[in-house]
Amino acid sequence: MKLGQATIKDIARELNVSSSTVSRALKDYPGISDETKRRVKELADKLNYRPNAVALSLRKSKSFTIGVIIPEVVHFFFSTVISGIEEVAFSNGYNVILCQTNERLDREKSSIDTMLSNQIDGLLVSFSKETTEFDHFSKLMDLDFPIVFFDRLPEIPNAVNVTVNDFEGAYQAVKHLLEQGYKRIVHLAGPSNLAISKKRKEGYLKALAEAGIEADESLIIECPGGNEKESFDVTKQLFENEKNRPDAIFAHHDIVAAGAMMALKSLDLRIPEDVGLVGYSNWQFSSMIDPPLSTVSQPGFKIGETAITMLLEMIDKKRDYKSEPVQVVLDTELLVRKSSVRI
Amino acid sequence: MKLGQATIKDIARELNVSSSTVSRALKDYPGISDETKRRVKELADKLNYRPNAVALSLRKSKSFTIGVIIPEVVHFFFSTVISGIEEVAFSNGYNVILCQTNERLDREKSSIDTMLSNQIDGLLVSFSKETTEFDHFSKLMDLDFPIVFFDRLPEIPNAVNVTVNDFEGAYQAVKHLLEQGYKRIVHLAGPSNLAISKKRKEGYLKALAEAGIEADESLIIECPGGNEKESFDVTKQLFENEKNRPDAIFAHHDIVAAGAMMALKSLDLRIPEDVGLVGYSNWQFSSMIDPPLSTVSQPGFKIGETAITMLLEMIDKKRDYKSEPVQVVLDTELLVRKSSVRI
DNA sequence: TTGTATGCGTTATCAC
DNA sequence: GTGATAACGCATACAA
């Protein structure tokens, strides 16, 4: 702070009343004369009085601030989630403190520490790729501190969380490819330590199994980096050899799909005629590339909205999430575009 | 807050010393016996003591929190800026409170109010498209409240700000198109009330003038919405008629360029052979579309870094920005890709 | 209808 | 070396 902000005391002094009177007048407490109220409010207005939220936090042991831990802000999906969080927070009078971990565990831990120092009322978390043990979260949960996880699921019993149905999303995507007549479908998978990656892989496997196709482990390739270059290289190598060449790709991520698409083009393979392609996440660019990329859309904004709504309920103790833990699973939507339609 | 956090008082009570002693011991003040220090620190550790930043804020009239006002989080450029801000803030022990205005003035004003209530130490602002008067900012600046504007420049004398050289960026882009032999260059411009839009238009005009080409007002079309659909429609109409058809487009924004690209394709015009295309901002998708889009890249991360670094200097009064106002202008970079290269 | 006293957690000032 | 006290801004239990 910096501004010579007027306080309740200033108003009280000027009006020759006590600070309690001013405090009560400002909040329309019963038992204050209309005349006093009028004078107080008038002066408050004139002095541009603004309650000091910090003092209030201290007094009430409540800060109306929630912390958000996110791996990377520069990520279409996450920025959408943040947007949803911010909307609901704002309209409920809450502030949002944002920390990005850059996928690092130490950042995650120290960010949480700072936020706790700042007396946040609750925490929304999508933890880092490095996070494999969850003590720093479960300790807090044991103390009844409100936490809602989103997108990435911790291995903590009864953790309240919001995710999308990754299994179903992947299943639908691969089923769609099969219906289009593709047979040898590659899966460019995510880092195997993330639950979302596992779920997507399982969905892929289920669709194959249902179609009576035996899964070929050599067609499941991990692309943990999630950048174009990585999947470009992987794809190029995989499709170079004409013999027994795959005819479709299900990528765990649109960026990965984009890299694959470039690799296919560099090999003069046509999409969707020669190779079908489906991504994941519906990044903003996906509809703009050529051919437009089929993808599984995750409701990022809604994830954010849902997560913070639940968090606020926990904070206000409107619902007892302790006795009735909640796992919300939101539906994905398969967006069929040109890259996977050949019939 | 929520956790039954240990306070200095708790430690004092348990150790039968006064809170002042504990406070001093924890901060290695001189004049405290090593023995006491040891005992205090040990217990603090055991109780997982964490200083209450809210109490500190109140005491010190300083919150180590800065506010960020941004039009939209879901915007590649802005998310990059936020990322830069967050990095520097974190490493300097500052928190970031984020508010998005959704390009609305009322949101902007009320967000600032809440943030001020929360005793932020300073403000980073990219104001909304609706903002045409700047009293709500200049009032604060008159009171010496630290504000740094970025990307969008307010009409306030001596406002400290960080922008990119939009004039030069646009100039380079159009010059490049001219060098490639394009002659009738359309400018899909941004909202005319934003300084950045004006600058880009001026750069466009200068490049034309230098090449001895007279500007044709009918080739400058405003696309204030900045979405694909808008520019798709505009472009389609503009290029439908073969007679006197333009042969290049300089869009104020990659999304706008993407819409234009789709329109050109729908008219079976080839890029870059028939029509050259350059965008602005280097969105993540720009390198992945077909053909890859030439664009003017803005150093978003660096803008964020620079803006907050200056803000922290203002807060710490390391430099007197009042007597020596600063306008930092960062360079853009023209990324030449396929969409604009025909020779 | 209004005022007084106290405390939220911390630290600066003065005292011993 | 250490302790008591006051203050940051506000709300509230208790008095009057």
pLDDT tens for A90-119 read 999 999 999 999 999 999 999 999 999 999
> Å from B26 (CA) to C9 (C1')?
14
pTM greater than 0.85 (yes/no): yes
Of B58, B120, B265, the CB nearest to A58: B58
Q: In angstroms, rounded to a whole number, what is the distance separating the alpha carbons of residues A254 and A258?
A: 6
Q: Specify the pLDDT at position A1.
A: 46
Strand C close to A19 by CB, under 7 A: yes
| pLDDT in the model for residue A250 | 98
The per-residue pLDDT of chain A, averaged, comes to 93
Rounded average pLDDT over B264-283: 95
Report percent pLDDT > 90 for chain B: 82
Query: From the CA of A144, how many Å to the C1' of C9?
Result: 22
Residues 101-140 (B) with a CB less than 8 A from some CB of A: 107, 111, 113-122, 140
Indicate whether A128 pLDDT > 50. Answer: yes
Q: What is the pLDDT of residue A44?
A: 95
Nucleotide nearest to A24 (CA to C1'): D11
A193 phi and psi angles, rounded to 5 deg:
-85, -5
pLDDT at position A2 is 55
On the question of pLDDT at A314 being above 50, the answer is yes
Instruction: Measure CB to CB from residue B95 to each of A80, A114, A146 and give the nearest one.
Output: A114
A–B interface: beta-carbon pairs under 8 A: 176
B288 CB within 8 Å of a chain A CB = yes
Question: Where in chain B do CATH 1.10.260.40 domains reside?
Answer: 8-51
* Closest alpha carbon to C1' of D12, residue: A20
With CA atoms as reference, the chain A residue closest to B119 would be A1
pLDDT value of position B212: 95
pLDDT tens-place string over residues A150-161: 999 898 988 999
pLDDT tens digits, B42-59: 999 999 999 999 999 999
Strand C positions closer than 7 A to protein CB:
1-5, 7-13
Cα A183 versus chain centre, distance = 34
What band does B1 get if pLDDT is binned at 50, 70 and 90?
very low
CATH of B8-51, one of 1.10.260.40, 1.10.150.120, 2.40.180.10, 2.60.120.260: 1.10.260.40
> Chain A contact for B47, CB < 8 A?
no
What is the distance in angstroms measured between the alpha-carbon CA of B14 and the sugar C1' of D11? Answer: 29
| Helices within chain A (DSSP H only) | 8-15, 19-26, 34-46, 53-60, 76-91, 105-117, 135-142, 166-179, 195-210, 228-240, 254-266, 300-315
Give the tens place of pLDDT for each residue, B152-166: 999 898 899 999 999
pLDDT in tens, A4-21: 789 999 999 999 999 999
Q: Please say whether the structural domain A166-298+334-340 has been given the CATH code 3.40.50.2300.
A: yes
Chain B CB contacts of A75 under 8 Å are 79
Question: A61 CA, D10 C1': separation in Å?
Answer: 12
Position B194 scores a pLDDT of 83
pLDDT greater than 90 at residue A24: yes
Sheet with B248-251, edge to edge strand ranges: B220-222, B185-189, B248-251, B276-280, B294-297, B333-335
| Nucleic strand C near CB of residue A329 (< 7 Å) | no
Alpha-carbon distance of B230 to B250, in angstroms, equals 15
On the question of pLDDT at B320 being above 80, the answer is no
**CA-based nearest residue to B174, from B278, B283, B297:** B278
Q: Looking at chain A, which residues constitute the CATH 3.40.50.2300 domain(s)?
A: 63-164+300-330, 166-298+334-340
Bridge-based pairing of strands A122-125 and A65-70 is parallel
- What is the architecture, at CATH level 2, of domain A63-164+300-330? 3-Layer(aba) Sandwich (3.40)
Among B2, B58, B113, beta carbon nearest to A144: B2
- Mind listing the pLDDT tens digit for each residue in A244-258? 899 999 999 999 999
